[in-house]
Structure 1
Amino acid sequence: MKKRIVLSLITAFTILLSGCSTDKPNSASTNEPQKETKVDQPEGTGEKALEPVELTYYFPNSPQKDLQTVEDAVNKLIQPKINATVRLKLIDWGTYEEKMKVVLGSGEPFDLAWTSTGLNNYYQNVANGSFAPLNELIDKYAPETKKGIPDMFLNALKVKGEVYGIPVFQQSTAGYGFEIQKSVADKYKLDWKSVTKLSDLTPFLETVKKNEPNLIPWEYAQNLDPFLTAPPMFGLETLGDAKTPGDLYLNDATKVINQYETPEFKEYITMMRDWYTKGYLRKEAPTLKETTADRKAGKNALTLGQIDIDSQAYEAAGLEFTGRMSNFNKDVHSYDMQFVKPLLTTDKAAATITAISANSPNKERAMMLLNLLNTDKEIYNTLVWGVEGKHYKKVADNRIEGLPEGGYQIFAPWEFGNMTLSYLADGDPIGGEVDNKFIDMWVDLNKNAIPSNALGFVFDFTPVKTEKANVDAVIDELYYAISSGSIDPEKYLPQFLDKLKNAGTDTILAEKQKQLDEWKAANK
């Protein structure tokens, strides 16, 4: 995921790592920007139907001092097309989850919100009735958007045949590995290309700890937790969402298991306990929700990477690549190494989504705005990168360079619309803008990625809403302390598993197994 924080990322990675999918033009997808569609009025209605409206749009990112300038610029582009303006309600990554719980729980009438399979959980919110069904709205007001997104992405969002959000078409194939500062790897002659699993990084972290007191050996935050962010790294894939008990092994698509009871989890938290006690992570690691400030300051020597195309692949393609760390600080270059091959899973196809609130008073106009974000290059790039000359400067036909003092740098082209519209920027391979080469690379990668055994399966949380809420409370209480290594897993893992069981894990596992079996039977 380019500019990914978490996520992916975000991930805040997000990932914030974060952290944090097209193919050649056909009826399902395209790697060319869609033609701009001007919507003068809703189909089948009179001129009066397009009275001016103001839309409210919630999304997470780090605070931006010049957000108002971007909002004004976006509205100058949107208003003539759909007679609407938008209020950009940017919420800090660390508080977005709680803020949206309050907003959604209160019934506040807003229009659009960013959601995902993790943060502001899409499937849970659908089960709660928080998001509006969109099938008819998409067909009527966003057919161009639908053409630009492969069917498998939209299918991943379906709950009982209905779509409740528009997925961001982005670099979605879930390859995983790590990023290491180039200066560190070169200085100590670290053999970063030889890494095949997380534990292979231990000697690298020890070298950094002994010799680089101003660097954090391993970046960790809640949105960068490897076990939740990168299940395939442990031979697992997510069913429903990353936190809720109930995964599949990649080599066994039949049996739903509690991932927290696996030997892979025990091995991981034992390793993290070792890393934490040796000082490879920040002491505050278990409570950190994201690490954007550390990334911008270049403080992390190594970090988890959701990596679709790595440094070696770019080199083989003849492209110069400064690494994903340079997305946040152009002076910090990294080697990015993938050791888990790309896999397209339902949670990655649905990793970043824009939903329309069930309480929106302007659902049709909100869908028109989503259509513009997916088809109009100027509107998309204004929201993503800001105003030319103030927040970025053009350095090539389809490449920009950010202006850090401009007051708007969200590093999140994956958060809105269709990422094939995006300018290339710091951290993207140099030369990749020529003949659309870079976009073609990730589009083809998404097309040819190995599909998961349960691609298209979507878990309906409705029958276990109570159990999920109880399980989530247990996870919030203990998981990150255990997974960051800040508490002894020998003592606390049994307590964690007991609390999960008492909260309703067995009921959730049984329901996931039932729904998976039914899905398999219906898709033979």
Structure 2
Amino acid sequence: MRKRIFVLVITVLMITSTMVGCGNKDKKETSNTENGNQQTAGENEPKKEKELEFVELSWYYPGSPQSEQDVVFAEINKLLKEKINTKVNFHPVDWGSFEEKMKVKIGASEEFDICFTANWMNNYQKNVSQEAFIAIDDLLNEYGSNILKGIPEKFWGATKIKGEIYGIPNYQISTMTNGFWFKKDLIDKYKVDYKELNTLDKWEVYLKTIKENEPQIIPTAICAESGSNWGRMLVNYGFDEVGGRNIPGVVRLTDNSYKVINQFASDEFKSFVSKMHDWYEKGYIRDDALAIQDPKGDIEAGKIASGMGGNYKPGADAEMSASYGEEYVNVKASESYLLTSSIIATLNAISRTSKNPERAMMVLDLMNSDKEIYNMLCYGIEGTHYNKTGDNSIEIVEDSKYKPNTNWIFGNTFNAYLLPGQSQQTFDDTQAFNMNSEASPILGFVFNQEPVSMQIAQCTTVVDEFILSLDTGTVVPDEYLPKFLDKLEKAGSQKIIDEMQKQVDEWLKTK
């Protein structure tokens, strides 16, 4: 009897203990939220840094290597280690070598994590068609919330290929407005109204003045920059590219028929390269233009009087003046258009060979939201490379050894510090440009290169062979342009244009 009672007592105690244990466990794992609902502890909380395994990433982008970049990169990596337990090996590659370097790396399936891509360099559509990048829709939703918040929703359509996103726009001036820039001391010296120098013909009159009176000054910055001189005047000539700057195929911005044509066979292209050759013969373009792939060193040294701007934007005068240490002014040379090509003119993509795509997205999310990290990559270290002049404004230290001048490569430029001469109004005006400019007739269309990938590869080789010589005026167009067009035709340019037209027509049915 005693034995049975003893067993019964033990059983009751065990049951009670179990119930108490469960009650304590429930109490520990749940908590009352402010609105009275119960929520499991840890639910919806971000991962803590200590839960992330340390990884190293590599990031390739075009830019002139800076003498004190290693010091800057080390400071950035201290912050990345603290925030997401990550180190990034930054690899700025000089402008003339970046295209070829990425072709080799991607072609050989070399491991890397992030790279710069665009419509005009390290071609975005072509790389996607060759499966060089991964689709990032899911990664954006899970790790890129700040990116999604910072970029207008309507812009994402320009990045989609077959309905998926493969690149993150570095949000900046997203409309395209062609323009010119001028060294202000020379403008003042010759009492020129630079705002009137808004066409190639008017600019030429000024170039004649510089050539005749300033023998130590190079009249223009025109040189062999990836065939970008023609590309910088596309909107001025009324074109929007369909598949990439140096791939045959454009539509006219004012043509509601949506007809795709070969820009290299157009009267506009012939007119442009003929003018460049005339300028070369007159000495307005440097003799060694074909050998110079990056004019920034000469601009920084004050040796160049003027040039074609990549894209006119509010605050351009202050930005350029701060970057190069003396005053510059800019002028619009075209109307402003919102283009698919201008939205994808600067992107960062995650490589198919990346072993840590989630962490790569975390890094890019920080570059689009963390002002300290982003501005350090843009401007360097406070007190060494720049000084604060206000809560959100800086001035570059004279003779700074870190001035990449490529904010538009690294992330959301609206997080950048304001430079002397810039104000919050600069950002407001830029936003207004983005939201209110005229839209291209093919805004939102993204060309799928797969059906004509072989022809694109062949035509790209032909363009690479001819464009730099024609673009810098160093050859006679009447002799070289027919050869160029003949080779393009044999390489399959018409098949590319026909495929573009087919896809544009199909896209129009969905509008």
TM-score (norm 1): 0.85
* Aligned equivalent of 2:231, options 228, 231, 244: 228
User: What is residue 273 of structure 2 aligned with on the other side?
Assistant: 269
CA displacement at 1:43 relative to structure 2: 8.1
Alpha-carbon distance in 2 for matches of 1:294, 1:403: 19
Q: Residues 515 and 439 (structure 1 numbering): CA distance in 2 closer, same or farther, change over 3 Å? A: same
SS of match in other structure, 1:480: helix
Equivalent residue for 1:121? Answer: 123
Using a 3 Å threshold, how does the CA distance of structure 1 residues 273 and 142 change in structure 2: closer, same or farther? same
Written as runs of structure 1 = structure 2, the 5 A alignment for 1:52-451 is 52-223=54-225, 225-253=228-256, 254-309=258-313, 322=317, 325-331=320-326, 333-425=327-419, 430=421, 432-433=422-423, 436-451=424-439
CA shift, 1:308, in A, is 3.6
The answer to whether the Cα contact below 8 Å between 1:41 and 1:50 also exists between their aligned partners in 2 is no
Return the alpha-carbon distance in structure 2 between the equivalents of residues 41 and 298 of structure 1: 58
Contact 1:111–1:357 (8 Å) recurs in 2? yes
State the Cα distance separating 1:104 from its structure 2 match: 1.1
Q: Deviations over 1:348-392 (max 9, x none)?
A: 111111110111000111111111111111111111111111121
The superposition leaves residues 387-444 of structure 1 with CA deviations (integer Å, 9 ceiling, x where unpaired) of: 1111211122211122254421101111111111100225xxx2x33xx222111112
Q: Is 2:491 the counterpart of 1:497?
A: no
CA shift digits 1:56-84 (9 cap, x unpaired)? 11111101122221111111111122121
- 1:12 is aligned to none
Q: CA deviation at 1:307?
A: 4.5
Cα distance, 1:115 vs structure 2: 1.1
Amino acid at match of 1:297: A
How does 1:457-472 map onto structure 2 within 5 Å? 457-472=445-460
Contact kept in structure 1, 2:347 and 2:409, CA below 8 Å: yes
Q: In the alignment, is the contact (CA less than 8 A) between 2:173 and 2:313 conserved in 1?
A: no
Q: Which amino acid aligns with 1:129?
A: E
The amino acid that maps onto 1:260 is F
Q: Distance in 2 between matches of 1:199 and 1:142?
A: 46
Aligned-pair CA distance for 1:233: 0.8
Equivalent residue for 2:37?
Answer: none
Distance 1:347 1:133 in 2: 19
- 2:23 aligned residue: none
**Alignment size in residue pairs:** 468
Query: Where in structure 1 do 4 or more consecutive aligned residues deviate above 6 Å?
Result: 40-48
Q: Per-residue displacement from partner, 1:6-64 (whole Å, max 9, x unpaired)?
A: xxxxxxxxxxxxxxxxxxxxxxxxxxxxxxxxxx9998989986211111111111011
Matched AA of 2:84:
I
Aligned to 2:18: none
Deviation at 1:328, TM superposition (A): 3.6
Change in Cα spacing, 1:275 to 1:324, as seen in structure 2 (3 Å) is farther
Q: Which residue number corresponds to residue 484 of structure 1?
A: 472
One-letter amino acid of the structure 2 residue matched with residue 50 of structure 1: L
Q: Does the 8 Å CA contact 2:181/2:308 hold for their aligned counterparts?
A: yes
TM-score, scaled relative to structure 2:
0.87
Letter in 2 for 1:235: G
CA–CA distance in structure 2, aligned partners of residues 394 and 44 of structure 1: 32
Q: Distance in 1 between matches of 2:166 and 2:223?
A: 29
Change (3 A) 1:236 1:41: farther
Residue 26 of structure 2: aligned partner: none
Gaps of at least 5 residues in structure 2 are 1-41
2:27 corresponds to:
none
Deviation at 1:194, TM superposition (A): 2.5
Which secondary structure does the structure 2 equivalent of 1:89 belong to? strand
The answer to whether the Cα contact below 8 Å between 1:117 and 1:241 also exists between their aligned partners in 2 is yes
Give the secondary-structure state (helix, strand or coil) at the position aligned to 2:332: strand
Q: How far 1:335 moved relative to its partner?
A: 2.6
Give the share of equivalent positions with the same residue, in percent: 40
Q: Which consecutive unaligned segments of at least 5 residues does structure 1 have?
A: 1-39, 315-320
CA distance in 1 between partners of 2:427 and 2:247 (Å):
34
Tell me, in whole angstroms, the C-alpha distance in 1 between the residues paired with 2:212 and 2:338.
39
Separation in structure 1 between the aligned mates of residue 228 and residue 171 of structure 2, nearest angstrom: 24
> 2-side partners of 1:177 and 1:67: how far apart?
31
Residue 252 of structure 1 aligns to a residue whose secondary structure is coil
2:57 is paired with a residue whose SS is strand
Tell me how far apart the structure 2 counterparts of residues 49 and 460 of structure 1 sit (CA, whole Å).
40
SS in 2 for 1:178: strand
Using the alignment, how far apart are the partners of 1:234 and 1:199 within structure 2? Answer: 13
Residue type of the alignment partner of 1:350: I
Note closer, same or farther for the CA distance 1:271–1:247 as it changes in structure 2 (3 Å cut). Answer: same
Distance 2:45 2:456 in 1: 41
> Tell me, what secondary structure is at the counterpart of 1:389?
coil
